[in-house]
């Protein structure tokens, strides 16, 4: 069935996107406002875009007709931290998704621990297994109060027990226990259930064709 996005409207476009682009990693973003107050909120329109420079992208929607607190803080300060969400922190993450007034400390609401970052002013979340300190690279306006924030990753913190080889930057990814966003209002997926499909070379593919 064909869905023409020019005809179905933004609400239905959202349903189609979040029901099919799955699982989506979750950016649990911490920022500071201009008064130094901490804000924390999760976003599942998120992914890594490049490694040189290291770049992540976050889609941030509107709140009461304006860009959400996270987007406003990034615009004004140019800094943020992307914390990743594990299964054991999922319920705390869900609390920080509550639509509260600006200036409310979501970390305190969720009984989470802020830790000082090394290169940026916003704190990271101690309970998160991975935190990326970022500076604003660009804000791409996409219309209707929505924007895509591109952030340059300056540093990454990974929980010690999830690092296999620090010198070679090998990470025990399954041990991180990360979750991804699925469809609907409350569905998530574990990343511990996986399959291995080794990449093939042209020679491998030609050999396979010859054997058919």
CATH number at residue 174: 2.30.110.10
- The pLDDT of 108-122, averaged and rounded, is 98
Range of the domain at 120: 5-211
Closest to 82 measured CA to CA, from 38, 33, 30: 30
- Residue whose tokens read 């010859």: 210
- The pLDDT of 184-196, averaged and rounded, is 92
Q: Which has the higher per-residue pLDDT, 79 or 192?
A: 79
Q: What is the pTM of this model?
A: 0.94
- The pLDDT of 112-130, averaged and rounded, is 98
Backbone angles phi, psi at 53, to 5 degrees: -75, 160
Q: Average pLDDT, whole number, for the chain?
A: 95
Q: Is the pLDDT of residue 102 over 90?
A: no
Give the helix/strand (H/E) hosting 13. helix 10-20
Which residues have C-beta within 8 Å of that of residue 86, sequence separation ≥ 6? 128, 129, 176, 177, 178, 179
- The pLDDT of 16-44, averaged and rounded, is 97
- The pLDDT of 97-107, averaged and rounded, is 90
Entry field: residues in the chain: 212
Q: Model confidence at 107, in pLDDT bands (50, 70, 90)?
A: very high
Q: Which has the higher per-residue pLDDT, 5 or 103?
A: 5
Q: Is the pLDDT of residue 67 over 80?
A: no
pLDDT per residue over 147-183, tens digit each?
A: 999 999 999 999 999 999 999 999 999 999 999 999 9
Contact assessment for residue 121 and residue 32, using Cβ atoms and an 8 Å cutoff? yes
Contact assessment for residue 78 and residue 33, using Cβ atoms and an 8 Å cutoff? no
Provide the pLDDT for residue 210.
86
Q: Is the pLDDT of residue 64 over 80?
A: no
Domains contained in the chain, number: 1
Provide the pLDDT for residue 169.
98
């Amino acid at each position: 069935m064909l869905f023409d996005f020019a005809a179905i409207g933004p609400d239905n476009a959202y349903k189609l996107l979040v029901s099919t682009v799955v699982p989506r990693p979750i950016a649990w973003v911490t920022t500071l406002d201009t008064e130094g107050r901490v804000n924390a909120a999760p976003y599942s329109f998120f992914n890594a875009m490049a490694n040189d420079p290291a770049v992540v992208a976050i889609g941030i929607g509107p709140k009461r007709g304006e860009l959400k607190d996270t987007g406003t803080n990034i615009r004004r300060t140019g800094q943020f931290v992307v914390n990743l969400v594990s299964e054991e922190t999922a319920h705390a993450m869900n609390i920080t998704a509550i639509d509260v007034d600006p200036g409310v400390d979501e970390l305190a609401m969720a009984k989470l621990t802020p830790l000082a970052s090394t290169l940026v002013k916003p704190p990271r979340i101690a309970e998160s297994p991975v935190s990326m300190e970022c500076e604003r690279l660009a804000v791409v306006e996409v219309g209707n109060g929505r924007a895509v924030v591109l952030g340059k990753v300056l540093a990454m913190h990974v929980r010690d027990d999830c690092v296999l080889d620090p010198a070679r930057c090998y990470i025990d990814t399954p041990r991180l226990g990360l979750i991804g966003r699925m469809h609907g209002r409350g569905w998530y997926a574990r990343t511990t259930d996986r399959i291995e499909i080794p990449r093939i070379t042209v020679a491998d593919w030609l050999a396979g064709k010859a054997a058919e």
